[in-house]
């Protein structure tokens, strides 16, 4: 079956299953279900992908994910964005600086990894997963194998986080809004933050997306600083392309429109459904692309580094959230 047919089927199946009472009691919403079904299908489907299947998968993972996030902006208001406060902005900056700096140092000095592997793995954990890895690739010009290793670790531990956070919430003692800030400031990928937040509540989802997108917006200045640093250390004066996450501006614009204009309820419901379908397609594509053999090929050291960063995000992020948000 072609990906053009398979991905919508998985997305619709996930959305349908998530509405069943037997599934709801396990806290599984449409997005985690979509990635789970995709992972199971991908594990048993070993056929080589055609060029069209590859294009469809990448389109869902990238374009539809961003479209879904932009459409999700119509369910938020500027008041909700400002409600997260300056503490969330500071929290995101602290998490990025800490995870990237310590991850790179541990990777290079302790595990003796290639510098590019350490940087790519750390930046993927610190900012926004595979998107941050690919953006940093434009600066480092690493081997493709190093990029694949970093993305594999991000997908593995980001997926683990996506399913872990709803369980952590039961013992966290945090409010739904505070836990949304915790998710947004610590989960690897935008899509994984969306899925984890949705599994808890609508308020958690909204807050998680806002805080996560603040982290995404920090990608552009981070890449500029990294590019400048590498240029100085390597005496490199060549121009480097900087990838700016423009979809974040679309998200802000959609939120602004929803804040200023009273959109009809049927239109808002349609936009919400379109957002959910786009995000479910992106989750299904991500699940289909998650293969254990790719992760095994990375070897133990990158996986151990990614595990350390994962634990730092969970525990370090939890205590920083308690200090800055719930104090």
More confident residue, 242 or 20: 20
Q: What is the tally of structural domains in the chain?
A: 1
Alpha carbon distances (Å) from 5 to 48, 149, 189, 281: 16, 29, 25, 11
Res. 225 pLDDT band, cuts 50 70 90: confident
More confident residue, 238 or 81: 81
User: For residue 48, is pLDDT > 70?
Assistant: yes
Which range (82-96, 199-213, 244-258) has the least confidence?
244-258
- For the record, the structure tokens of 51 come out as 């060029």
| Residue 93 CB neighbours (<10 A) | 15
pLDDT at 237 (0 to 100) = 46
Which range (26-30, 36-40, 66-70, 91-95) has the least confidence?
26-30
Res. 244 pLDDT band, cuts 50 70 90: low
- For the record, the structure tokens of 278 come out as 């786009």
pTM attached to this predicted model: 0.72
User: For residue 130, is pLDDT > 80?
Assistant: no
Per-residue pLDDT reduced to its tens digit, 134-148: 678 767 877 767 877
The arithmetic mean of pLDDT across residues 51-61, rounded, is 87
112-121, 214-223, 237-246: which has the highest mean pLDDT?
A: 112-121
Q: Are 188 and 161 in contact (CB under 8 A)?
A: yes
- For the record, the structure tokens of 234 come out as 């390597």
Res. 314 pLDDT band, cuts 50 70 90: very high
Which range (11-25, 82-96, 235-249) has the least confidence?
235-249
- 123 is in which domain, residue-wise? 3-324
């Amino acid at each position: 079956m072609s990906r053009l047919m398979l991905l919508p089927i998985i997305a619709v199946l996930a959305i349908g299953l998530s509405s069943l009472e037997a599934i709801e009691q396990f806290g599984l919403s449409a997005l985690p279900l979509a990635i789970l079904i995709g992972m199971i299908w991908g594990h048993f489907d070993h056929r080589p992908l055609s060029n069209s299947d590859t294009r469809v998968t990448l389109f869902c993972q990238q374009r539809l994910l961003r479209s879904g996030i932009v459409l999700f902006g119509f369910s938020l208001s500027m008041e909700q964005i400002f409600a997260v406060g300056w503490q969330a902005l500071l929290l995101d900056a602290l998490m990025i600086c800490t995870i990237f700096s310590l991850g790179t140092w541990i990777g290079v000095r302790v595990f003796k990894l290639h510098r590019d592997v350490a940087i790519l793995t750390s930046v993927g954990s610190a900012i926004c997963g595979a998107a941050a890895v690919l953006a940093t690739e434009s600066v480092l010009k690493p081997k493709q194998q190093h990029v694949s290793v970093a993305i594999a670790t991000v997908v593995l531990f980001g997926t683990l986080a996506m399913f872990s956070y709803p369980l952590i919430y039961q013992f966290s003692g945090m409010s739904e809004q505070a836990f949304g800030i915790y998710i947004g400031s610590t989960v690897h990928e935008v899509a994984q933050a969306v899925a984890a937040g949705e599994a808890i509540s609508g308020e958690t989802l909204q807050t998680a997306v806002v805080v996560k997108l603040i982290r995404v917006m920090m990608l552009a200045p981070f890449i500029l600083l990294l590019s400048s640093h590498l240029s100085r250390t390597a005496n490199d004066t060549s121009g480097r392309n900087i990838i700016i996450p423009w979809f974040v501006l679309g998200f802000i614009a959609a939120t602004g429109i929803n804040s200023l204009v009273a959109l009809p309820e049927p239109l808002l419901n349609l936009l919400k459904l379109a957002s959910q379908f786009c995000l479910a397609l992106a989750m299904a594509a991500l699940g289909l692309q998650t293969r254990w053999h790719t992760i095994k090929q990375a070897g133990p050291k990158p996986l151990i580094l990614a595990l350390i960063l994962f634990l730092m995000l969970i525990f370090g992020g939890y205590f920083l959230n308690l200090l800055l948000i719930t104090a």
